Amino acid sequence: MPGPTVKMLARLIVGMPALFVASAAAALPPAPPLAPFPATGTVQYAFTPGDHADDMIITAITSARQQVLVQAYSFTHRRIADALVQARNRGIDVAVIADHEQARVNNSTLLRDLARSGVAVLYDPRHAWAHNKVIVIDAGHQDCAVVTGSYNFTYAAQHRNAENVLILRGNPPLCEAYRTNWLRHKAHSLPPHR
């Protein structure tokens, strides 16, 4: 039986017509958890191996105009990291929350490289696994996007694993819900040890 996240995603994709206008996007509250809400915008998907999910994610990051917030369980994909650094160099607010234990066990030099490049990197030690694989782009704007799925931001996820990625664009309440969740995790996350 599908869990609540699968049910919510199904409702999002099948959902009802939009009930709000673009000018109200920034004023909208996050979507309530576990309750259906109107689906709007577009859905883009990829499955690996086979589809170029990494290119799809990099294109989404490249389209950011204000902010990119990342939650990552494992992060070893150099090209995705480079896209985050390039976004930061364009003046985009870029921040990453990574799983504390994964970063420690994998000795993630890539996360250290991101931090050295000016990307805000935090580690979430509160959970057994900070297992989110999420990117929130330009929340608070009509053309915002949420990247989510099973896809870790790793070379293995692209080339060896059976993974999926969704990019959900143009649904401000959903983007705000994901940003609110990101901020909840940021509140208990820690900076890298120097």
pLDDT 10s digits, 54-71: 999 999 999 999 999 998
Of 77, 100, 133, 185, the active-site residue reads 133
Has residue 46 been placed in a domain?
Answer: yes
Residue 11 inside a domain? The answer is: no
- Inside any domain, residue 71: yes
Q: Which domain holds residue 65?
A: 37-188
- Is position 138 annotated as part of the catalytic site? yes
| Tally of domains within the chain | 1
Q: What is the pLDDT of residue 91?
A: 96
Is 123 a member of any domain? yes
Catalytic site residue from 93, 131, 141, 143: 131
Residue 22 has pLDDT above 60, yes or no: no
Q: Give residue 106's pLDDT.
A: 62
- Rounded to an integer, the average pLDDT of 106-123 is 81
pLDDT at 130: 56
Dihedral through CA 58, CA 167, CA 181, CA 77, nearest 10? Answer: -30
What's the CATH code of the domain at 165? 3.30.870.10
Q: Please, which pLDDT band fits residue 127 given cuts at 50, 70 and 90?
A: low
32 within some domain: no
**Residue 124 included in any domain:** yes
Tell me: pLDDT of 36 over 90.
Answer: no
Catalytic hit among 77, 99, 138, 185: 138
Residues 50-57 have a mean pLDDT of 90
In a domain, 52, yes or no: yes
In this structure, is residue 173 part of a structural domain?
A: yes
